């Protein structure tokens, strides 16, 4: 309970739904087959939506229980889940809470997205003989080295799964070294996700407000990256006086902290979007989009995207770069993208993304992209081609999991 109290104070929990985190669901179990899909946080939840839609379409008599562990993912799911799919918070990994959760829901099968591996939850799934698949599985080199020290423990945990569908060949090889579970590299389902949505009326309003200004977006920022965005803006506007910098924080609840950071840069005009959806003015230098679920809108409005959590104070890890590429944006990333390694490496090889190692390199890369419109247009063309060619991953995943969905495993 102390952990939950701390998380509640930090805004990481919803008071009215704390019972769910203790394995006490607030909804009745629907009758019939119940398919359980777990997506840890908002990034995994975005990836899961295309899979949820496919499963719902194929299994017309089934319901889907979707769990996650963050407030932002719950808010996303509330807006975007289809009929016959509903959201609950995953219980914290306490044996009694996990048991209570599974006693209530009695899922017929489980699909866990990416790399959310909790010992008590996995062992209880195995004990109850619930068929389970790890979908879109990833395992970075750092995580592999960590688990290798505890090979017996990870092997036992992974034995819960009947199948592991890995994002890449390298991910699959790492999993194979740690377990005896059938593992296949099928690609990343992020490739098959629909472009992030946006409201056209908001796009028209902001297009008019921006009025053709050169615009870049620093997407999904974490602590340390708002400061970097402001510093880069100060330098770039010496060459591009009418530049607009858009900051989209990963966690909008940090808005007061971010406003103080940005306000500390004397001479810059800061505008906060807020729940009122305020537009930038002609004088706005830095526009902070402190709202949830509007990243697609800001990709649509921008010329270049910098992906957050690659220069952040927490050691980084990266966020999904494909969402920007689906809008034809040249993509930049800092040095730390270990959680999106396969995606970034593939996109860098295709020359639609560029890694910068230092803040100086970030400045130079942005300046070049703004100064060389033909280069920017060529990257945009290649980005749209790349994302279109990769869209069939979800069909491969569905082919692999259909036997379980049909009860043939």
Name all domains of the chain by residue range, CATH numbers in brackets.
Answer: 2-192+392-405 (3.40.50.11720), 200-389 (3.40.50.2000)
Entry pTM = 0.84
pLDDT digits (tens, 9 = 90+) for 331-369: 999 999 998 988 999 999 999 999 999 999 999 999 999
Token output for 129 = 């003989």
Give the contacts of 344 (CB within 8 A, at least 6 positions apart).
318, 321, 333, 337, 353, 355
pLDDT digits (tens, 9 = 90+) for 259-285: 999 999 978 899 999 999 999 999 999
Token output for 395 = 């069909």
CA angle (135, 139, 142) in 5-degree steps = 165
Q: For residues 259 and 233, is the Cβ–Cβ distance under 8 A?
A: no
> Mean pLDDT of all residues in the chain?
94
pLDDT of 93:
95
Compute CA distances 376 → 27, 302, 348, 372, whole Å: 50, 12, 15, 6
pLDDT digits (tens, 9 = 90+) for 173-215: 999 999 999 999 999 999 998 899 999 999 999 999 999 999 9
CB atoms within 10 A of CB 6: 11
Report the chain's terminal Cα–Cα distance, integer Å.
38
Task: List the one residue out of 224, 231, 298 whose CA is nearest residue 257.
Answer: 224
DSSP 8-state class, residue 321: S
């Amino acid at each position: 309970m102390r952990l939950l109290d701390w998380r509640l104070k930090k805004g990481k929990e919803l008071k009215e739904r704390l019972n769910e985190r203790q394995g006490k669901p607030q909804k009745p179990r629907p009758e019939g087959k119940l398919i359980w899909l777990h997506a840890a946080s908002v990034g995994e939840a975005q990836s899961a939506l295309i899979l949820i839609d496919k499963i719902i379409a194929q299994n017309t008599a089934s319901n889907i229980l979707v769990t996650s562990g963050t407030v932002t993912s719950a808010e996303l799911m509330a807006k975007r889940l289809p009929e016959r799919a509903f959201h609950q918070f995953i219980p914290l990994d306490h044996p009694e809470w996990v048991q209570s959760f599974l006693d209530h829901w009695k899922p017929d099968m489980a699909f866990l997205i990416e790399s959310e591996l909790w010992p008590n939850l996995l062992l209880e799934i195995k004990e109850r003989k619930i068929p389970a698949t790890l979908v879109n599985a990833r395992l970075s080199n750092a995580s592999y080295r960590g688990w290798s020290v505890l090979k017996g423990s990870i092997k036992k945990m992974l034995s819960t799964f009947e199948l592991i569908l890995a994002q890449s060949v390298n991910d699959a090889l790492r999993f194979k070294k740690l377990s005896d579970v059938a593992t296949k590299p099928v690609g990343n389902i992020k490739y098959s996700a629909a472009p992030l949505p946006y409201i056209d009326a908001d796009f028209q309003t902001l297009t008019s407000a921006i009025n053709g200004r050169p615009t870049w977006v620093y997407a999904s920022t974490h602590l340390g990256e708002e400061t970097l965005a402001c510093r880069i803006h100060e330098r770039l506007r010496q060459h591009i006086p009418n530049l607009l910098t858009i900051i989209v924080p990963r966690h909008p609840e940090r808005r007061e902290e971010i406003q103080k950071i940005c306000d500390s840069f004397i001479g810059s005009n800061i505008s906060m979007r807020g729940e009122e959806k305020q537009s930038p003015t002609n004088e706005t230098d830095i526009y902070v989009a402190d709202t949830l679920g509007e990243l697609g809108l800001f990709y649509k409005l921008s010329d270049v995207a910098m992906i957050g959590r690659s220069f952040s104070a927490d050691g980084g890890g990266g966020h999904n770069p494909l969402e920007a590429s689906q809008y034809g944006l040249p993509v930049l990333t800092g040095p730390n993208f270990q959680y999106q390694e396969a995606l970034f490496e593939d996109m860098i090889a295709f020359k639609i993304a560029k890694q910068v190692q230092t803040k100086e390199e970030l400045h130079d890369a942005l300046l070049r992209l703004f100064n060389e419109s033909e280069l920017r247009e060529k990257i945009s063309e290649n980005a749209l081609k790349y994302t279109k060619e990769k869209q069939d991953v979800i069909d491969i995943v569905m082919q692999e999991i259909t036997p379980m969905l049909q009860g043939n495993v």
